[in-house]
Structure 1
């Protein structure tokens, strides 16, 4: 399985496959690491995927101001949030010839506020890298149709995030 990950950083115009800098704070995760993580996660979640050998995902690392604007525009909530996901396919979308062809399947975009991730990492007592991985896993599950409208589905989703993080060597306590 191959994952083509497009990492965008709203703070500078560097190419997407270089280490990302957010002003004074460097993102502690290289683009190759992101790609490895997403590939591993998609292998674990393969039963929920359209059967393809190549998947594409957009990942944008941004600040509170940009994510607040996106949250207001698309969710009508004028406040910053930690992660937004923009799926390209409907959950029960039937496989078509176009999807099953040789082209990569674009799953959608994940947008993460690094500002929010820093605050949450500090509150949770873990590293920024751990928080960014947690939020990326959460965003990926949303791209694949997971949601958490109630406590039961939220716990199921949190447990799945824990499984995904454990698969890449990050251990988080889910309570």
Structure 2
């Protein structure tokens, strides 16, 4: 399938760092995270053909996209003590490496940065973040920028 220019171990470190960072944010309209809870999600790096199929099937948009997020939880999902002893499954993130490569070239940065950007965006969607209007989009993009800084990416300019 798609080539993964980022080692699995690096993805693990990034997602763990992002979840720790997000656990410190108190947002009423997002899934609350706790440091003592284990979390699980899936990340699939694919190509434009597969993501177009998924986009058509789940969003009725028959074209490729850069990232899709399929949340497993609702923001107000109660968690029992029994559930807290297991990793909490957040959902699935699917990224088209083809689209990420094109976007990275268009914006003049490395594909690694673009993949991390898209993964952070997908993670925020799994946690209940959304961007139905300009204000919420600005907040979400700002949070993505923070997450990338946490794992060592410099702030993008321009």
TM-score (norm 1): 0.81
Q: Does 2:151 correspond to 1:168? A: yes
Q: Does 2:134 correspond to 1:112? A: no
Aligned mate of 2:76, from 76, 88, 92: 92
Distance 1:126 1:92 in 2: 37
Aligned residue number for residue 41 of structure 2: 57
The residue correspondences of 1:32-51 to structure 2 (distance < 5 A) are: 32-47=9-24, 48-51=31-34
Higher strand share goes to which structure? 1
- Higher RCO (C-alpha under 8 Å, 6+ residues apart): 2
Report the number of matched residues. Answer: 151
Post-superposition shift, 1:35?
A: 0.1
Gap runs ≥5 in structure 1: 1-10, 12-21
Aligned-pair Cα RMSD in Å: 1.5
Aligned residue number for residue 79 of structure 1: 63
Gap runs ≥5 in structure 2: 25-30
Provide closer, same or farther for how the CA distance between residues 169 and 89 of structure 1 changes in structure 2, counting only shifts above 3 A. same
Provide closer, same or farther for how the CA distance between residues 174 and 139 of structure 1 changes in structure 2, counting only shifts above 3 A. farther
Do 1:55 and 1:106's aligned partners in 2 also have CA atoms closer than 8 Å?
yes
Provide closer, same or farther for how the CA distance between residues 174 and 73 of structure 1 changes in structure 2, counting only shifts above 3 A. farther
